Amino acid sequence: MPDQTSSAPRPTLEAVAERAGVSRATVSRVVNGGAGVRAPLVEAVQRAVDELGYVPNQAARALVTRRNDAVAVVIGEPETRLFTDPFFAQQLRGISKELTAHDSQLVLLLVEGTEDYERIGRFLAGSHVDGALVFSLHSDDPLPAIIRRLGLPTVYGGRPGWPGAEDDGNVLYVDSDNRGGAREAVRHLLSLGRRRIATITGPLDQTASADRLDGFRDVLSDADPRLITEGDFTPLGGERAMAELLDRCPDLDAVFAASDLMASGALRVLRERGRSVPDEVAVIGFDDIESVAALTTPALTTVRQDIEGMGRLMTRLLMRGLDQRHGNGTGPALPLSSVITPTHLVRRVSA
């Protein structure tokens, strides 16, 4: 990713034109979707943009681009997870409601694998949408680099993982207090007298997973490494991780799973192995997804985050930025900044 934070001067449109051997007008047209430009020239310009790390001037772009009243939503997960993990449906519900209130169309771009991002980049470059909401990023995800290059207004769901993203005022995101939530869960397990507390993490190339593990370690700084195992946010991943933990540490007396779906898998394995919950093993999840946490046997104690609310906040933040950019804002331009939403423990039966 081009380094935008350095003090070196930002490459100009002229520099791109010179490098590509084309006119300024051609660069401008390519940057704004490429209509009417022959394919070899589009490629030459894109190569120069990549090489120089050029980012179009937002204000200049706003003059030549119309507003489309449409917003792209990109979820960095294959459609099989998108449609089986209620987390995404809940976040999309929040986004959909808020976009409808702004009379803007939700355009969901499905991703099957990394090889799809080039095509998604082309669509995002084509002046079809006013901005993007991007979530479930993994650390090797090529999308943020594409979005920066295009200068497309974007709000991320979950803190992006690249170095410096947290302090970069140009990167907007909405996240939960993942670390604080994990701390609260582990402290609750300690207060119940549990001493061999295990954790099933999410994929550690996602910041939400890493932050929850950090919260676990904040409280249990000397945790036995055999009590920490990586899952994948699915029920099956939770089953596998739980079986592994029980094999490694048969004396464990509590598990903090970094998602409700993984916790539901863990509960299933504990039941199969004859471990009673919460008497022998206390279990806490994360998310508080209604259709999961309240229906497990026993009902799941979990760290609640307001998933639908986060989707709504992401959308509001994006729409506010677009209004300011297009000069439709009412009142003075407010500074836009990222938001961390609170989490809290919801006690049911499992811990």
The contact set with a second copy (CB under 8 A) reads 35, 66, 68-70, 79-80, 83-84, 86, 88-89, 92-93, 96-97, 100, 103-110, 112, 116, 119-120, 122-123, 126, 128
Whether the Cβ atoms of residue 72 and residue 129 lie closer than 8 Å to each other? yes
| Cα distance between residue 50 and residue 56, in whole Å | 12
- In the complex, the smallest distance separating the C-beta of residue 165 from a second copy, rounded to whole angstroms, is 26
Strands, DSSP E only, in 166-213? 172-176, 197-201
Shortest spacing between CB 147 and a second copy, in angstroms: 15
Round to whole Å and give the CA distance between 24 and 30. 10
Q: How far is the CB of 240 from a second copy (least distance, A)?
A: 19
Whether the CB-CB separation of 276 and 267 falls below 8 Å is answered with: no
Q: Which residues of 133-160 are buried (b: 16+ CB within 10 A; e: fewer)?
A: bbbbbeeebbbbbbbbbbbbbbbbbbbb
Q: Give 80 or 276: the residue with its C-beta nearer to a second copy.
A: 80
Residue 341 C-beta: closest distance to a second copy, Å: 22
Pick the closer one to a second copy by CB: 1 or 70.
70
Token pair 């550690």: residue = 204
Nearer to a second copy, 215 or 238 (CB): 238
Complex with a second copy: residue 86 or 329, whichever CB lies closer:
86
Residue 334, judged by CB atoms within 10 A of its CB (0-12, 13-18, 19+), counts as exposed
Nearer to a second copy, 5 or 100 (CB): 100
Spatial distance between the Cα atoms of 282 and 267, rounded to a whole number of angstroms: 10
What is the torsional sign of CA 28, 29, 32, 37?
negative
**CB of 29 vs a second copy, minimal distance in Å:** 13
- Nearer to a second copy (CB atom), residue 108 or residue 340: 108
Name the minimum Å distance from CB 204 to a second copy.
27
